[in-house]
Chains A and B, each alone.
Chain A
Amino acid sequence: MSELNLTSAPAHLRHGSNIGQPLTRRDGILKVKGQATYAADNHPPGMLFAVMAVSSIARGRVTSLDVTAARRHPGVVDVMTSDHKPPLAIDPEIKTNPFVFRMEALHSDEVRYANQPIAVVIAETLEAATEGAALLAPHYETLPALIGLDAGDSFVPPVVGVGNPTENHRGDVEAGLASAEKRIEAVYETPPQYHNAMEPHAIVAAWDGDKLSVDMPTQGLFLSRARIAELFGIAPDKIHIRSPFLGGGFGSKGLMSGPPTLGIMAAKLVGRPVKLVLRREQMYGPVGHRAPTRQRLRMGTDGEGRLTALDHHARTVSSTFDDFYEPAADASHTLYAAPAIRTSHDAVRVNTGTPLFMRAPGEATGSIALESAIDEMAWACGIDPLAFRLKNYAEVEPITGKPFSSKALRACYEQGAARFGWAKRPLQPWQMRDDAGLLVGWGMGTATFPALMFQAEARAAIRRDGTGVMEIGAHDMGQGAWTALAQIAADGLGLDIDRVEFKAGTSDLPDAGIAGGSAHTATAGAAIHTAGAAVIAKLADLAANDERSPLFGAGNAGVIARSGKLFRRDDESRGESYAEILARAGLAEVEARGTGAPNPASMEEYAMHAHGAVFAEVKVDPELGQVRVTRMVGAFAAGRIVNPHLVKSQLFGGMIWGMSFALHEEAITDRRSGRIMNANLAEYHIPVNADVPPLDVITVEEHDPHVNALGIKGVGEIGITGSAGAVANAVWHATGVRVRRFPIRIEELLTQL
């Protein structure tokens, strides 16, 4: 049931028939039949195949390419190089706004990182294009590469993440540490990680005069369109991008990068449609990654185990040519009630592709360090890790002193701990074994992620046949937009979901902003909700002003929209269908637009975050050091849950990423060449099915009247935070060995077991 009131009663107080229901995915049948069309599945007539050649050096200059050999290969149509390419309208080095990153579009022979695109071979077949790229056999002038967290002089970047201050503090950290009864200081390292969505970045580009058609997975249709427009000097409305399904994004498909730009250039060069798909190894460079960090945490506690100070410093890297700084230390802003907190960052520049947002940027890296340190501090105090966290529970946001818009973390701790059986945990490590003799350890971590809102717009319409339309250029990268947003749309329109035509995933629809920051459902949802309310209001206006309608004069009392009908709020026996209202008015449809945006007043007043508590059990072979996670329980409070079925899946996914962070993922860079030596899925380990134990997710009820109209906080990223630390802490509890360099490697356990 959806109610709609012409007054301003907040929507989160009402429960519709669609929001909250565990619907299965509306795109499920397409996906299980192989009929969901991803970008690389398109084949416009006359299409050619483009394959990138990438640099094998990390720094220097391309001095020659054997274009002749490539061209001579049967089937090769053209070779695009820095000497032979269509012009761009602007220099791709120019940053026209903060969401523009510098890219390589063959505008220079300079090489700034390994796997940088240096040429594109276009051919009649994929086989010919691939071999053509190999035949280019580049020669280089090579300079020594800058590699690793100690490369060159460090500096303090102007901002970290997206516009966060580099340093924050509250209270006097040094005094807090000096007065502490117990102190710890520990340094943690996290490695470079790569998004590795299962779908490689791909584009099918086709020009028709100055019109451009693009199939491309993107988490940001409209930012991508704007970037393409400025790069190619055409109006945005000449560009049509289709991105109905992304085969995963995780941040790497948020902003326009070099490779799809090259695909569009290649299509222009040859005057035919072109498909360019990255090879897996080519995803380790030009499309972003999570930068490595080295984090130093210092903490002190008083005699009762209450924090007196928390100091979190993070060193990270950016590329030599652009700026993105993993805001790792910011993870210490929100969770623990230290009277003195300081967070700070510095960085060095290295020869790498520019780092980028990767699922929980900053929160994931910072969380594993913070949660490990909290565990170390609790142990130093001789206090159970959960009791320690409760003792230091933040009633207001520690770094700002603002109240939380809502915070059901205590319930998360309670429910998660109860489900897990945490009360039976021995305080000491190295206490538990299973009956096969394996060491068993239990660890926990607190999860947190900000509840963000971006900008979005939606268009709603009610048609004369009583059906509804909701249009929004939203993105489904697996989180379930086709389903969850359609549920919100159905409630907003007062219709059953199968009476709503929900359109998303193309650039000719209203701008839905970016699918990132765990904010897409909230932002797009708010726009949909508002658009729905606006179109119902128009319909209600028609009826209320029409004396032939049973709703005549209902204006002040208000109406309720439900199942395709409007009812008088004060007398539900009086109502009529949308179709009747429109028929009488002689209208084919009524339409309206709505927007979703952050509420500056709420942001000023409240700290807004989702929270959670994750509990993990690991088993460790006592002699061989191999680790396996055998159980995880996560309890999360993230405001209103639009679809519990899909939310559970997203939280599972995040928890698996957390496990992966603690135990598996790492890009290994050759210390001399700067090349990534495991740029593949055989040796860059992400968890396989056998790594993933039975998982348990509890969604803790939480009502938040401040975050947005629907009370949604987002669940896409929070699952990693807390989970990575929980696994690391469980490994310590099993073995008594505290590993501070991630992922936890066999040798680190082996040498100490």
Chain B
Amino acid sequence: MKPFDYVRPTTVEEAVAAAAQPGAVYLAAGTNLLDLMKGNISRPDRLVDVTHLGGLDRIEHLPDGALRIGALVRNADLAHDAEFVRSYPAVAEALLSGASAQLRNAATVGGNLLQRTRCAYFYDTASRCNKRAAGSGCDARDGENRSHAVLGWSDSCIATHPSDFCVPLVALDAVVEIEGSNGRREIVLDELHRLPGDTPARDSTLEPGDLIVAVRLPPAARGFAAHAGYLKVRERTSYAFAVVSAAAALQIENGKIKQARLALGGVAAKPWRARTAEDVLRDVAPTADAFQEAAWRALGDAKPSGDNAFKIELARRIVVRALTLAAAGTPARLPPLPASPFASTSGALHV
């Protein structure tokens, strides 16, 4: 790890000023940043520690019905907040399906949004990687890439975004509050993460010094609580990144879907909102055919970036399953294995 200056600002303004300098990065829990620094993927000159800033660790219910989650709220604290689980069950389930209990206890909401890809070529500093070293090339393109992107990728980068949390958030139109050199602004989460295009080195639309101070779930996000869930296919039962995941949320009235929200994880450089699929679900009955149609739409633009064609079919099936589970209703209690296909495993056998 490269030596760095350690700065502990006491106000958001100080933090922004300190982090706007070249070579500076924010330190929150560090569960991703320290990993990257230990691997020499990230070699910052200055760490601006925001964990001691006051007021960023609150969960607030706003008068308009929105929920404002401070950027320093820990993943576990949010996922275990009873009111939060009731109102946004897919988000809680996604949070609990990510990483491990230890990491969730440390990791912050803001940090989760900004975690970087798990692409092995990004992590391997001897490989060419346009995300790590702009213009160096992409060794993933012709490499071991069965877990790489099938949507929104470019020839310069086929990495995926690893977050589970972001997937239901983007489906629910979460808003990101940002403090920057020019004051406060907000953007919808869907506009935070960038597709790679020719400039994959930039994961997000944040400018130097920009600090995420909160994530807001708008009032409408509560309207899906009765029919929402997150489903994540993994290569082991827990403590693994998604092969593919999906968040589905429905508003069902009188046997028809009034509104649908759908997003996919593990398929692109950003949490992938599937709006075309949502559109075909509006005002139709929640049937298997409708969900199949939605799945085809959701993956309409998908193409393999390597040995990963299976992810397209897998993503379609996950979409169908996630929508089916959502339509059946949110379970009263989060399952023992959150977001797992084995969540509801019971004992009885039928031969």
Q: A residues engaging B (CB < 8 A)? A: 56-57, 74, 127, 130-131, 134, 424, 426, 431-436, 438, 440, 619, 621, 623-626, 628, 630, 663-664, 668-673, 675, 677-678, 682-683, 685, 687-691, 745-747, 750-751
Contacts and interface: CB of A to CB of B under 8 A. Distances in A.
Contacts of A623: 317, 320-321
Interface string B146-184: 100000000000000000000000000000000000000
A575 B341 CA distance: 68
Given A434-B348, A436-B345, A621-B341, A131 B238 contact: no
Contacts of B318: 624
A426 B350 CA distance: 11
B235 interface: yes
Contact of A746 (B238, B314, B348): B314
B131 to A, nearest CB: 15
Contact of A683 (B120, B126, B233): B120
**Contact-residue size bin, chain B (C-beta under 8 Å from the other chain):** 35 or more
A750 B129 CA distance: 30
21 contacts: A130-B1, A131-B1, A131-B2, A134-B1, A432-B349, A432-B350, A434-B345, A434-B347, A435-B346, A619-B342, A623-B321, A624-B233, A677-B121, A677-B144, A683-B118, A691-B237, A746-B233, A746-B235, A750-B310, A750-B314, A751-B313
A688 B237 contact: yes
Contact of B350 (A433, A619, A671): A433
Interface string B219-257: 000000000000001111111110100000000000000
A685 B235 contact: yes
B141 to A, nearest CB: 11
Contacts of A130: 1
B87 to A, nearest CB: 27
Contacts of A628: 237, 342, 345
A691 B238 CA distance: 7
A183 B16 CA distance: 73
Nearest to A666: B235
A440 B234 CA distance: 19
B259 interface: no
B136 interface: no
A436 B124 contact: no
Nearest to A279: B38
Nearest to A133: B40
Contacts of A619: 342, 345
A628 B238 CA distance: 11
Contacts of A127: 1
B142 interface: yes
Nearest to B308: A747
Given A623-B321, A628-B345, A746-B235, 11 more contacts: A56-B126, A434-B348, A435-B349, A436-B345, A626-B342, A664-B236, A668-B144, A670-B127, A670-B139, A687-B236, A750-B314
B351 interface: yes
A433 B237 CA distance: 19
Interface in B82-119: 118
A747 B237 CA distance: 16
A670 B143 contact: yes
A193 to B, nearest CB: 15
Nearest to B99: A682
Contact of A624 (B236, B317, B337, B351): B317
Contacts of A685: 235-236, 240
A134 B40 contact: yes
Contact of B314 (A131, A624, A668): A624
A688 B348 CA distance: 25
Nearest to A660: B236
A434 B314 contact: no
